[in-house]
Structure 1
């Protein structure tokens, strides 16, 4: 991604992820000075809550991660907060999302805890929860909070808005075509994939990249018509 942005002469641009998730690439580009601003958008209220808290109240996350118990009882409590998706307290929801990401198998939010509920696995619930390491990563991100914009909108709307700006690079990585319901609170239906294809086709001259899982490409190849052709 860094090389693509350099080759396009877009160093210092605004980097946009309309379906953010972890935003690993974007934040790396921001911290290393390749881009000036990162727009983190996700319609999933839990994902948005986490990034909104990173941007506005990183010290809350740092304080909580240093003190929170790492056991199944706490895991169940944080999962209840996550499933409720109550956006009236964004920091609380954001931390629950963070907690599950770090304590669940493969970081899948709707999955189970590392080591299982009985904690008999080879690795336990604290295997990926390095308190000081995570606190330092959050501290570094807090230094760039003025350059992070966290929103919770339909990704198509975000693409439409930012594709019109010359100094913007869009990385569209939408939810998986298959198994999306088990991975996200806000999964994609077929019509959502089609809407995304249409909007990207309509801004084909803008600066964007699209990535998909293999199942999405296979499904698209079986559809009749042009609506998905440009997106793959």
Structure 2
């Protein structure tokens, strides 16, 4: 299916959907969990395809959390904003000002400003990129080229229909592991942390080296008996941090202004049953 998420996300992993779908089915998991939700495209597709009965998503970024809670719990109000808000540079400045003062606004307005900037900024980067076409709108593409209101409203309405089986959290990943993942049986968790090399330039909440080390230690210690995968951009530091886990290197096309083929790592928990046909579902470079 087409990407079901209303958000554009740098480093999004939706191209892995068929691989993860088969992995979840093969391991008979009924709940799918994402500690770094972002666009949550895979979570949504698994629900829509009836692969899992429930998803639990978490994002430490309050603005992303506000978006998800708004479309689930204030659906009509959010759609009204989509319909009535002009997609212009003047409005971009207005939404940017809300973004810069998120704690002075209610979650609906914070969620909408995040959505608006995600759809109108280059590569979907909310804080660290400008509008598509530039402030003078003299670029090849204009600010509204990724803002098809009818399509976006349709996506939002469909997601809202699943509100009873979507749980959203806004806590630190370490806390989420202990409070939610450990308490959920028969689950599959996809960890997609901020990129190691370029995270600071892409995400509002990025990790330093120590954060990545602590995450790996927590996953391998507390979740040694659970089913999960972790994906990262390739680096010798990450390879060392997860040296005790089986892994593959794979290529994944992604768009950050220009299309590139990014090589990434995937690490597996010991409890997870691996697919025999991995190479048919994912472009493996080496094991």
- Shared fold per TM-score greater than 0.5: yes
Q: Does 2:39 correspond to 1:22?
A: yes
CA distance in 2, matches of 1:126, 1:32: 30
1:229 counterpart residue number: 243
CA distance in 1, matches of 2:104, 2:39: 19
2:150 counterpart residue number: 132
Kindly indicate which of the two structures has a greater share of residues assigned to helix: 1
2:195 counterpart residue number: 176
- Do 1:170 and 1:209's aligned partners in 2 also have CA atoms closer than 8 Å? yes
Q: Does 2:233 correspond to 1:213?
A: yes
What is the CA-CA distance between 1:6 and the residue it aligns to?
1.0
- Do 2:33 and 2:57's aligned partners in 1 also have CA atoms closer than 8 Å? yes
CA distance in 2, matches of 1:171, 1:60: 31
Q: Cα RMSD over matched residues?
A: 1.6
1:71 counterpart residue number: 88
What is the CA-CA distance between 1:159 and the residue it aligns to?
2.1
SS at match of 2:80: helix
2:76 counterpart residue number: 59
| Structure 2 residues not aligned, in runs of 5+ | 1-19, 246-266, 268-287
Instruction: Label 1:230 to 1:91 Cα distance change in 2 as closer, same or farther (>3 A).
Output: farther
1:144 counterpart residue number: 162
Q: Scaled by the length of structure 2, what TM-score is found?
A: 0.74
Deviations 1:69-124 (A, max 9, x none): 11111101111212223275111000000001111111111211110111001110
- Do 1:19 and 1:172's aligned partners in 2 also have CA atoms closer than 8 Å? yes
1:121 counterpart residue number: 139
SS at match of 2:194: coil
What is the CA-CA distance between 1:220 and the residue it aligns to?
2.9
Q: Within 5 Å, which residues of 2 pair with 1:26-65?
A: 26-65=43-82
- Do 1:119 and 1:125's aligned partners in 2 also have CA atoms closer than 8 Å? yes
- Do 1:159 and 1:170's aligned partners in 2 also have CA atoms closer than 8 Å? no
| Structure 1 residues not aligned, in runs of 5+ | none
Q: Scaled by the length of structure 1, what TM-score is found?
A: 0.91
- Do 2:28 and 2:186's aligned partners in 1 also have CA atoms closer than 8 Å? no
Aligned residues: 224
Q: Within 5 Å, which residues of 2 pair with 1:186-205?
A: 186-202=205-221, 203-205=223-225
